Structure 1
Amino acid sequence: MKIRRLNNNSLTGPCPDSLSKIEGLTLVDLSFNNLSGALPKISARTFKIMGNPLICNSENNCSAVSPEPLLFPPDGMRDQSQSGGGRSHRVAIALASSVGSVCVVLIIIGFLWWRYRHNQQIFFDINDQYDPEVRLGHLKRYGFKELRAATDHFNPKNILGRGGFGIVYKGCLHDGTVVAVKRLKDYNIPGGEVQFQTEVEMISLALHRNLLRLCGFCVTENERLLVYPYMPNGSVASRLRDNVHGKPALDWSRRKKIALGTARGLLYLHEQCDPKIIHRDVKAANILLDEDFEAVVGDFGLAKLLDHRESHVSTAVRGTVGHIAPEYLSTGQSSEKTDVFGFGILLLELITGQKALDFGRASNTKGVMLDWAKKLHQEGKLNLMVDKDLRNNYDRVELEEMVQVALLCTQFHPAHRPKMFEVVRMLEGDGLAERWEASQNVDTPRLRSSENTPQRYSDFIEESSLVVEAMELSGPR
């Protein structure tokens, strides 16, 4: 994936022809410079040139307004006007020059005002007259009235899910397409506008069958909305724990399929995107199911871009308690290994059918699923871990294998966790036995003997000196 961001750099002169020679471009952003002249043919999926008033269009006619040309009378009338021709000609020249000067001044004022307005907002500055049919790459900009009508004026009966940043509604567009419309509660809340921009940019760059596809968005002075395909089978969390509509429980084969599909989606984010993307909130509530029960990773509101040369990114700790990796809790450093940890917790959710933090309250585990699962595995009592809705209809060998993958992914030290390509291989039945045996021989006695090293995940949560926000995000449920 190739990206060229050259926006807001005060670049002048013509657009370089070298851009047209780069193959496989995903995004070229030349917006808000002072470029002029004709544009070369650039083969990029998304090409942004807004804020360059001197750029020429496809007919090679520049958009800058030039002085109006002089208007001469028809040939038959020239003889009649020869006596006053010289004076009229001079008046016409003076008038045209004045009009042209006024136009140039207005263009300059308009451009400066546009730049000022652009700097006031992180994302797009849109007015009500913008053509909703215009698309940015494969994204469509929808009109607010269209989405309001599609959701029956955001009728509470159409709510699919609620989260920290907004509410998701089921909607039906005028052409009959069923969609999920995510409406931010208030984009002016801390992180609201950034979260909106993050989802638009991240999802528009990442295209994979196991990643949620963004159809489009809507931006007005007071509204921020995202439009996704409607997922008829909801989220994995809703099918595991909130089965109130009489839908059958997910059987074992579908749970295995969901695990593998999610792993492939995360593998694409980590290994096949450039820059790579860290999701940072992998959990059952953010994994959606299409009509074929194919897993679709959604809700990129906390995602971060990470150059392949970098090992981690440091941020304030955000996510959902019970899914956050220990090193992220204690240092604020996240990497692809934090997603691997979250994926391991997701596997335990698929096995148990319960939430990671509300699990095992009746046992002495302080409600943390990971500690409870490790204890049962050590005691050889995996049958007590299995979701009762499965009614013992599962493969014991496959259960053991999935638990082993989950425990490998949730090791406290990120260096000991596998990468997502290894996880995919193990779920496909390749290399698990060797990896598990190697993990049992890891030399960690020094760490285990340290009085300051937590021995349980619940201890990491309690001893973390950082403020952790337990956030139920607002991806389509």
Structure 2
Amino acid sequence: MWVWFVAVQALMGIKASLHDPHGVLDNWDGDAVDPCSWTMVTCSSESLVIGLGTPSQDLSGTLSPSIANLTNLQIVLLQNNNITGPIPAEIGKLSKLHTLDLSNNFFTGSVPSSLGHLRSLQYMRLNNNSLSGKVPMSIGNMTKLVFLDLSYNNLSGPIPIFPAKTFSIVGNPLICPTGSEPECFGTTLMPMSMNLNNTEPQRPKSHKVAVAFGSSVGAISLIIIVFGMFLWWRQRLNPPMFFDVDDRLHEEVSLGNLKMFQFRELQIATGNFSNKNILGKGGFGHVYKGTLHDGTIVAVKRLKDGSAVGGEIQFQTEVEMISLAVHRNLLKLYGFCITPSERLLVYPYMSNGSVASRLKVSFPGKPVLDWSTRKRISLGAARGLLYLHEQCDPKIIHRDVKAANILLDDYYEAVVGDFGLAKLLDHQDSHVTTAVRGTVGHIAPEYLSTGQSSDKTDVFGFGILLLELITGQRALEFGKAANQKGAMLDWVSPQFS
């Protein structure tokens, strides 16, 4: 509890010193007990704050020295903001830090020599700031450093022997350019991109030209900023839609390989969304069987309240996730349809239904799944999830792995579908914290209690799927008689203990 209190106070100190024009830090609450649910904060499995990332958020102000109280920090990503002032020397106390990116800000002053104490640091970017003075020789003691970028500042004097395999100091005209100066080291230390031919630092030929050029750039920048603020203000008043549907209802548009269908076309294909053509029902809407004009059989997912916020988010998520992930064991998206009041997704038709529909009853005209088929389904679903977790960048957390979302094609090949709840997660992050979503009986206990989902929560759902395939029972069916939920695990545990 004390660790959490210290972390909350430290983060609130950071928030107080920053100006946050877009409100990305609004849910940072000084009265909170656990900061792990805050945006831009990453925690370990032990609920310790290990990551602070607010890149490209137009933050200004200064970076508070209270960051040093987050003693478990491993990653700090504050690049592409407008932060000014000095880099706090207290950062040198973060002994566990391995990634520090403060690039593309307006930091001033010198590079703190205390950064040389960060013996675990592997990646450091301080480029494109207004740092001045000499490069601390202590940086040469950072033996684990593999990447260093100090380019485009106002640094001067000699440079230390960098341990990093990759480094850049270009754009610092006052750094000794040739290595022949008395206080400089050999030219072998200079990066390949450094101009070694000129012995004098390059400066503007004319002060007047520089002033005129600077004034022009300043005026242009001011116009861009004003125009950008206007666009941001208008966006806040009118949240953007995924597509502007005005004047496009009769237009065939492509997003990559995705086709934008006309609503009338899907209405005809599904028999005006007849109840006879319903393939399945879910929390976000119904799925209908349809036949396009060229004879292609499809499944059309019609989102409930498609124009509402929840439906719009679910629609965008599915389109974006499926566009990122292409694999034989992941459901393909043919296209979509947007009208002012409708959101529809068009998928291939899965002739053998879902695993949930085939566990213990015969699909119309189909036999019950045999053991070899169930094994093949398990392997196919596992391959699909492995692709999402290991081969996508960023990786994708499905968050609703269950039998109803594992579909079967003509050859009983498993296809993972329904990405409406999916989340993106960088490979270096341990989890993403959100409101709990999913299906009762398939939600991992730690996700239910903390709101932290990761690839492990998908693996839990996959484990429940395996139990369903083995037993032929649904996750909640074991507890129906006793009116219990999630009783499958209670039944399985003693059987194998």
TM-score range, shorter chain: 0.5 to 0.7
Distance 1:299 1:117 in 2: 30
* Structure with larger RCO (C-alpha < 8 A, sep 6+): 1
Residues 8 and 146 of structure 1: CA distance in aligned 2, closer, same or farther (over 3 Å): farther
Distance 1:319 1:248 in 2: 30
Indicate yes or no: 2:445 matched with 1:335: no
For residues 239-278 of structure 1, the aligned pairs below 5 Å read: 239-243=358-362, 245-278=364-397
Q: Which has the higher helix share?
A: 1
Matched residue, 1:344: 463
| Conserved 8 A contact 1:323-1:356 | yes
Distance 2:376 2:439 in 1: 24
Report the residue type matching 1:263 in the other structure: A
Deviation at 1:358, TM superposition (A): 2.0
Q: Please, what TM-score do these two structures have when normalized by structure 1?
A: 0.54
Report the residue type matching 2:410 in the other structure: E
Q: Please, what TM-score do these two structures have when normalized by structure 2?
A: 0.51
Distance 2:485 2:285 in 1: 30
Matched residue, 1:281: 400
Residues 116 and 331 of structure 1: CA distance in aligned 2, closer, same or farther (over 3 Å): closer
Distance 2:483 2:343 in 1: 44
For residues 297-446 of structure 1, the aligned pairs below 5 Å read: 297-362=416-481, 368-378=487-497
| Conserved 8 A contact 1:118-1:124 | no
Report the residue type matching 1:299 in the other structure: D
Deviation at 1:352, TM superposition (A): 1.0
Deviation at 1:246, TM superposition (A): 4.5
Matched residue, 1:402: none
Residues 357 and 364 of structure 1: CA distance in aligned 2, closer, same or farther (over 3 Å): closer
Matched residue, 1:220: 339
**CA deviations over 1:253-290 (Å, ceiling 9, x no partner):** 00000000000000000000011000001010000000
**How much is the aligned-residue C-alpha RMSD, in angstroms?**
2.8
**CA deviations over 1:99-144 (Å, ceiling 9, x no partner):** xxxxxxxxx9xx989x769943341111244554321101111110
2:386 alignment partner, SS class: helix
Residues 143 and 194 of structure 1: CA distance in aligned 2, closer, same or farther (over 3 Å): same
Deviation at 1:188, TM superposition (A): 4.5
Distance 1:246 1:201 in 2: 36
Q: 1:208 pairs with 302, 320, 327, which one?
A: 327
Matched residue, 1:36: none
Gaps of 5+ in 2: 1-55, 59-226
Matched residue, 2:311: 192
Distance 1:118 1:227 in 2: 31
Report the residue type matching 1:168 in the other structure: V
Indicate yes or no: 2:255 matched with 1:136: yes
Deviation at 1:168, TM superposition (A): 0.5
Deviation at 1:8, TM superposition (A): 12
Indicate yes or no: 2:297 matched with 1:178: yes
Identical-residue share of aligned pairs (%): 73
Report the residue type matching 1:309 in the other structure: Q
| Conserved 8 A contact 1:132-1:140 | no
| Conserved 8 A contact 2:307-2:341 | no
Matched residues, number: 273
Report the residue type matching 1:163 in the other structure: G
